[in-house]
A = this chain, B = another copy of it.
Amino acid sequence: MGQTNEFAHRMASKTIKLVDSSGYPVGRKEVELKQTNHKFLFGSGIFDAVQVANKSVSADRLPFLEQKLVKFLDVFNFATLPFYWGTFEPEKGKPKTKELKAAAQWLKERNVAVKGHPLCWHTVTAPWLLDMSNEEILKAQFARIEREVSDFKGLIDMWDVINEVVIMPIFDKYDNGVTRISKDLGRVGIIKEMFAKTREFNPGATLLLNDFNTSINYEILIDGCLNAGIPIDAIGIQSHQHQGYWGREKLEEVLDRFSHFGLPIHFTENTLTSGHLMPTEIEDLNDYQIPEWPSTPEFEERQANEVEEMYSILFKHPQVEAITSWSLSDDGAWLGAPAGFIRKDNSPKPAYEVLKKLIKGDWYTNVTCKTDDNGMVSFEGFLGEYDLVCGDKKVSFILDKDAESVRLVI
Chain B: which residue is nearest A261 at the CB level?
B186
Q: Interface digits, A185-210 against B, CB 8 Å rule (1 contact, 0 not)?
A: 01111001000000000000000000
Partner of A186, one of B216, B223, B229: B223
Whether A367 is near chain B, meaning CB under 8 Å from some CB there, is: no
Considering the complex, which residues of chain A in the window 205-238 have a beta carbon less than 8 Å from any beta carbon of chain B?
216-217, 220-221, 223-229
Within 8 A of B (CB), among A151-181: 166, 170
A55 CB → nearest B CB, Å = 46
A156 to B87, CA, bound (A): 59
Establish whether residues B166 and A223, one from each chain, have CB atoms under 8 Å apart when the complex forms: no
Query: What's the Cα separation between A361 and B337 when bound, in Å?
Result: 66
| Interface residue SS majority, chain A | helix
Distance in angstroms between the alpha carbons of A345 and B228 in the assembled complex: 52
Contacts of A227 in B (CB 8 A): 186, 188-189, 192, 224-225, 227-228
Output the least CB separation between A264 and chain B (Å).
Answer: 18
Taking the closest CB of chain B, its distance from the CB of A122, in whole angstroms, is 16
By beta carbon, the residue of chain B nearest A228 is B227
Residues in B whose Cβ lies below 8 Å from that of A170: 216
A:311-347 near B, CB below 8 Å:
none
Minimum CB–CB distance for A245 against chain B, Å: 24
Spell out A's residues near B (CB within 8 Å). 166, 170, 183, 186-189, 192, 216-217, 220-221, 223-229, 260-261
